[in-house]
Amino acid sequence: MILAGQTATALQNARLLDDLRAMQDDLHRLGTELAETNRQLKRLDQTKADFVAIASHELRTPLAQIYGYSDVLSSMTDGKEIEAQEIHTFIDGITRGAMRLKRVVDAMVDVSLIETGGLLLHTACIPVTVVVHGAIEVVQPAANQRKMNLMVRDLSSLPDVEADVNRLEQVFVGILTNAIKYSPDGSEIIVSGRLDSSAEGAWVEILVADSGIGVDPDQQTVIFEKFYRSESVLFHSTDEVRFKGAGPGLGLAIAKGIVAAHHGRIWVESSGRDEERCPGSTFCVRLPATGPSRDAHHA
């Protein structure tokens, strides 16, 4: 009986010890979750602060430009003869300011449409090459300005995708503009594509590879969050395509939202950021293929 009593106590102790260990595990898990929530809240708070800083900075800069040029223009017209060439220069400045203002406002509207689920897509079955070449046409002047070589590998054999041409073109214009902005003068940007077929379905992947400053592994997810930028808020550029000329930090968040609306995925691959060595980045857009591969089609 004594032995039975001792065994029961030992068993009870063992159970209590197990309970205690389980409680310790729970506490540890709760602690980790709390720390994570705290980190997220801090990041949200930072995002809000960033929004105010970036929005006011990004809107004020072109506004100041418009004010400045129109002010000088109006003072010049005070009873003086001015040359058409001079008028042109000032009107050009005002137009550039207005266009920049429009781009920032458009980007903000796009972000809010994405966040509220209000992004409407007008989709059709299209070859990816149409989208890529459309985007190349838009960014070619910027590439020329920075003496860069934009190369597109043959994409004609890839299957079509179900997409909104304008929205998808916007994605590639954003990625290509960044590739130009974050790469040194005279470097090369290569656009290629591949088909990834598996049991779950077929995917078309478009890759944009640059020879730029690269993205650190721990930044490769956050750069797709809105208002993220690695440079300081005040490090802005009046020239949209200048080396490392950071914008409002909305481009990749919009690209991610548009790709997600197409049931796709976007990510970046890079060995890390190094402004001297320039290891480069490859941005990948993966979209569901809707048709057979074009080679198969012709066969």
Binding residues for ligand ADP, per CB under 6 A? 174, 178-179, 182, 210, 212-215, 223, 228-230, 246-253, 281
Reading phi first (left if > 0) and then psi (alpha if -120 to 50, else beta), residue 79 is in left
Strand partners, 266: 285
Shortest distance (Å) from residue 233 CB to ligand ADP: 10
Shortest distance (Å) from residue 97 CB to ligand ADP: 18
Instruction: Check if the beta carbon of residue 256 is closer than 8 Å to that of residue 266.
Output: yes
Q: Which is nearer to ligand ADP, 127 or 249 (CB)?
A: 249
Q: How far is CA 225 from CA 117, 156, 179, 244, in A?
A: 16, 32, 18, 18
Q: How far is CA 186 from CA 4, 51, 151, 243, 265, in A?
A: 85, 34, 13, 11, 30
Q: Which is nearer to ligand ADP, 164 or 210 (CB)?
A: 210
Shortest distance (Å) from residue 230 CB to ligand ADP: 3
Q: Which is nearer to ligand ADP, 167 or 229 (CB)?
A: 229
Q: How far is CA 17 from CA 23, 24, 269, in A?
A: 10, 10, 47
Q: Which is nearer to ligand ADP, 229 or 262 (CB)?
A: 229
Shortest distance (Å) from residue 18 CB to ligand ADP: 49
**What are the phi and psi torsion angles at 264 (to 5°)?**
-115, -165
Nearest to 1 by CA among 9, 17, 197: 9
Shortest distance (Å) from residue 249 CB to ligand ADP: 4
Q: Which is nearer to ligand ADP, 204 or 223 (CB)?
A: 223
